[in-house]
Amino acid sequence: MTFRTLQGADLSSKTALVRVDFNVPMENGQITDDTRLRAALPTINLLSKAGAKVVLLAHFDRPKGKRVPEMSLKPVLPALSKLVGQNVAWADDCIGADAKAVIDGLKAGGVALLENLRYHAGEEKNDPAFAAELAKLGDIYVNDAFSAAHRAHASTEGVAKLLPAYPGLSMERELSALDAALGNPQRPVIGIVGGSKVSTKLDLLKNLVTKLDKLAIGGGMANTFLYAQGHDVGASYCEKDLAETAREIIRLAGQNNCKLFLPIDIVVAEQMARGVPTRVRGLGSVDEHERILDAGPETVARLKRAMANSKTLIWNGPLGVFEIPPFDKGTVEAAKEAARLAKAGELVAVAGGGDTVSAMHHAGVAADLTFISTAGGAFLEWMEGKELPGVEALKV
């Protein structure tokens, strides 16, 4: 991929429109997790120190083109000002005279936050007139919100076509990590895909078996594959209507020389609750009242060996119900091995998707993997092989 880069660009006295993701969790008007604010700081600081005016564009929640007071971005202002180290100016609208006046009042290096883009219906419709109104406010456009890059909105795609467009530092880092995982990876490449439903990850599985050397399937979705192969899954969650689809993916993997790793033993219990009795079962020996809730020790040991014999790992989804110990054991053991190999420089380990991020933090390895993407939907669509409009619009 070819992009302009902010490093070395003439930024002095420019007004930079920076698309950020400030859709942060809030309770009673207070931010409960400022990770997304912190992610934008390197780009904000670079632009500010270079003497640019920094104008932040963001959405919050889903106001659907209307002014919904509780979906204002204004409560973000105090925390953002503290992190940036200067008073961030505020505009009550993201286009028009109010926004222009606030930007005109900024000094070189000053930072402003504009009101919720989604107060305007033109944002999600990617309305050219709305994109043009946004573009009037700046000289250059910077997208630092990979998490919104799978949406063709006015602030992610429309403006990028009207101004010189750059990826921000956070976006650059994400694209570099993803390219290392699937674009131009060191081989062999192994994937781990877990989670409960095959139905939500069909496109993902069909794409990965054509790109990877090995693919391990875990979590509830593995039950569907085991059922498709004729194994009894007892009272486990299983999408039995997708058995033929699972068999099709198994065939597709074979045609593309992708070695598929399905569970060879499983951890079962009659209830999904803490402290319940558990048993390790071989395939096909599950009682009718038992539920498969984690990968068994032999399955995990085999997966660890497969990772050790790989150069690149891409991981999406847990191997079991990790939120409820002891059904976290398989995920935690595999995650610790991935982290060990990554720290030793033996494996490029990239993980992403909501449950995956939580699982890596639960295992205590989030800081040790090569890269963790918090982008959710954008990360999944990228793994599915889909073009992301917000990324495509940045290409030179």
Helix (H) or strand (E) holding 335: helix 329-343
* Catalytic annotation present for 354: yes
Determine the distance from the C-alpha atom of residue 199 to the mean position of all C-alpha atoms in its chain, rounded to a whole number.
19
* Catalytic annotation present for 340: no
Which token pair is 180?
A: 């290392």
CA distance linking residue 298 with residue 281, whole number of Å: 10
* Catalytic annotation present for 386: no
Q: Which residues contact 254 (CB under 8 A, 6 or more apart)?
A: 260
Q: Is the dihedral of CA 206, 211, 213, 214 positive or negative?
A: negative
Catalytic residue among 65, 376, 377, 385: 377
Q: Angle 370-312-344 (CA atoms, 0-180°, nearest 5)?
A: 55
Buried b (16+ CB within 10 A) or exposed e, 159-185: bbebbebbbbbbbbbbbebbebbbeeb
Catalytic residue among 51, 65, 109, 354: 354
The C-alpha torsion from 169 through 170 and 176 to 180, rounded to 10°, is 150
Catalytic residue among 4, 100, 125, 197: 197
CA distance linking residue 244 with residue 225, whole number of Å: 9
CA distance linking residue 36 with residue 19, whole number of Å: 12
Which residues, listed in sequence order, are joined to residue 55 by a DSSP beta bridge? 17, 112
Which token pair is 349?
A: 């380990």
Contact between 149 and 165 (Cβ < 8 Å)? no
Catalytic residue among 36, 151, 201, 291: 36
Overall size of the chain counted in residues: 396
Other Cβ atoms within 10 Å of 112 Cβ, number: 19
String of DSSP letters for 113-171: EE--GGGSHHHHTT-HHHHHHHHTT-SEEEE--GGGTTS--IIIIIGGGTS-EEE-HHH
CA distance linking residue 72 with residue 339, whole number of Å: 39
* Catalytic annotation present for 377: yes
Catalytic sites, residue numbers = 36, 197, 354, 377
